[in-house]
Amino acid sequence: MTYKQTIEYLYSRLPVFHRIGAAALKPGLQNTHALLKIVGNPEVKFKSIHIAGTNGKGSTSHYLAAILQCAGYKTGLYTSPHVKDFRERIRLNGQMISKAYVVKFVKEELPKFEGIDASFFELTVALAFKYFAEKKVDIALIEAGLGGRLDSTNVIAPELSVITNIGFDHTDLLGNTLPEIAAEKAGIIKPSTPVVIGETNAETQGIFAATAKASSANILFADKQYNVISHGDFSAAKQTLDIKLQDKKGRVKEYQSALTGQYQLKNIITVLTAVDELRKLGYTITDKAIKQGLANVVSITGLQGRWQIINKKPLTIADTGHNFDGIKQTMAQLKQVKKGHLHIVFGVVADKDLARVLPLLPKNATYYFCKANVPRALDTALLFETATNAGLLGKPYPTVKKAYNASKKNAAQNDVIYIGGSTFVVAEAI
């Protein structure tokens, strides 16, 4: 099979969460353990950092990968979902896994997996871990897919665990309260393994502290380690974000970030705290490597869809923020952007809590409601009706492409087009 045929075969044969939702999930880690045993238990053959959280785990993973690569380490990176190409999920020193390796793995290993009834994600974890072991990475950044405790990635014994934050997303699977969701994310905390928590929250702090104590794991809250003194202007379409920070010893540090979303301030603090912990574990990471990694994270890792400027006139911004906290952050920054009129290309998945999300969106914008080309996407007519009842004015479009083209046709040069609501909408737009 060709690479394209291989990916289509996997999509058609295996349940895929990002396409069909919760029906694709396989509770428990039994399948993952079974797959990994068949391919030689690669998860014990490389060092890793495990990263979970409601928002920011993708950016944090990419930042850390870029920094470690700049520090001279052979660095693996496993993230999900992908934006354009499946191979974005598995990278080595920023380069996507080869098409030939994916085809070879499926051809040679898939027949051995018969009877396991694995999901797409479980098979992808096995593929990534085997690849990292064979390539003898010095360390790999492993982003949890959903939750933590029962996530397929939670079979590793990492050097460090990182939990970026806790917010409301996938409540049907993780719980309806922040403490319930935190308990699931805390499942990646391992015995005698340091853990960094990105944000201090009164509702979840005790959950993390208790879990860490029970595991004899040293715990650090990143926002207690660093404080943002100043940052660049969020009202303009800049290619870099200037940040000045102060650590708890009073030392001032200045950085530039290639990711310019204001939510990156929290992620950067989490990343710096994680780097401090890695240094304690013996990793040689210079200040120069940190600065290089932050400033060049996009070019080093290929990260897409985080407050990404895809056109200057009219200014067009795409962002994959898709849950309550993510959209709240991007709308706050969008409010600061200097503009004429605002045009929003918007689509969501069917399980999105519109009652919470729609009130976050500005009523003084023109909307182009659309449906991404995945089975899990919410029908455009239903989205249009619900949004109209919420006071958002616009028109429905059958595809992302038609919605985006209509926004470009209507927007003046000094207007702003924002594309978001779903990773899949962003993927089709960019």
Residue among 325, 338, 399 at smallest CA distance from 369: 399
The predicted model gives 373-382 an average pLDDT of: 91
For position 27, what pLDDT does the model report?
62
Whole-number average pLDDT of the chain: 92
Q: CB under 8 Å to 378, separation ≥6 — which residues?
A: 347, 348, 349, 350, 352, 371
For position 238, what pLDDT does the model report?
79
54-68, 91-105, 155-169, range with the lowest pLDDT: 155-169
Residue among 373, 345, 374, 377 at smallest CA distance from 361: 345
- 166 pLDDT exceeds 90? no
For position 237, what pLDDT does the model report?
78
Q: How many angstroms separate the first and last alpha carbons of the chain?
A: 28
* Share of residues in the chain with pLDDT > 90 (%): 78
For position 19, what pLDDT does the model report?
45
> Which pLDDT tens digit goes with each residue over 36-55?
999 999 999 999 999 999 88
Q: Helices 57-70 and 264-280 meet at what angle, rounded to 10?
A: 50
> Which pLDDT tens digit goes with each residue over 22-41?
444 456 799 999 999 999 99
- 343 pLDDT exceeds 60? yes
Name the residue type at position 367.
Y
For position 24, what pLDDT does the model report?
43
Residue among 351, 346, 305, 348 at smallest CA distance from 25: 351
The predicted model gives 143-160 an average pLDDT of: 92
- 263 pLDDT exceeds 70? yes
For position 353, what pLDDT does the model report?
85
For position 128, what pLDDT does the model report?
98
pLDDT tier, 18 (very low <50, low <70, confident <90, very high otherwise): very low
For position 20, what pLDDT does the model report?
42
pLDDT tier, 197 (very low <50, low <70, confident <90, very high otherwise): very high
- 116 pLDDT exceeds 80? yes
pLDDT tier, 169 (very low <50, low <70, confident <90, very high otherwise): low
Instruction: Give Cα 81 distance to the centre of its chain.
Output: 8
CA distance 202 to 186: 15
pLDDT tier, 236 (very low <50, low <70, confident <90, very high otherwise): confident
**R_g (Cα) of the chain, nearest Å:** 21
Q: CB under 8 Å to 169, separation ≥6 — which residues?
A: 54, 55, 181, 323, 324, 325
> Which pLDDT tens digit goes with each residue over 56-68?
999 999 999 999 9
For position 14, what pLDDT does the model report?
65
3-7, 102-106, 231-235, 244-248, range with the lowest pLDDT: 231-235
Sheet strands (E) in 170-257: 195-197, 219-221, 226-231, 241-247, 252-257
Residue 366 near residue 395 (C-beta atoms within 8 A)? no
Residue 109 near residue 103 (C-beta atoms within 8 A)? no
Domains present along the chain, CATH in parentheses: 3-301 (3.40.1190.10), 308-429 (3.90.190.20)
The predicted model gives 312-317 an average pLDDT of: 94
- 366 pLDDT exceeds 60? yes
What's the burial of 405, exposed, middle or buried (CB within 10 Å: 0-12/13-18/19+)? middle
CA distance 28 to 171: 18
For position 414, what pLDDT does the model report?
95
> Which pLDDT tens digit goes with each residue over 393-414?
999 999 999 999 999 999 999 9
Region of 98 on the Ramachandran plot (φ > 0 left; ψ -120 to 50 alpha; else beta): beta
For position 148, what pLDDT does the model report?
85
- 386 pLDDT exceeds 50? yes
- 173 pLDDT exceeds 80? no
Sign of CA dihedral 189, 268, 132, 99: positive
pLDDT tier, 168 (very low <50, low <70, confident <90, very high otherwise): low
For position 322, what pLDDT does the model report?
80
Q: CB under 8 Å to 368, separation ≥6 — which residues?
A: 343, 344, 345, 346, 394, 395, 397, 403, 404, 406, 407
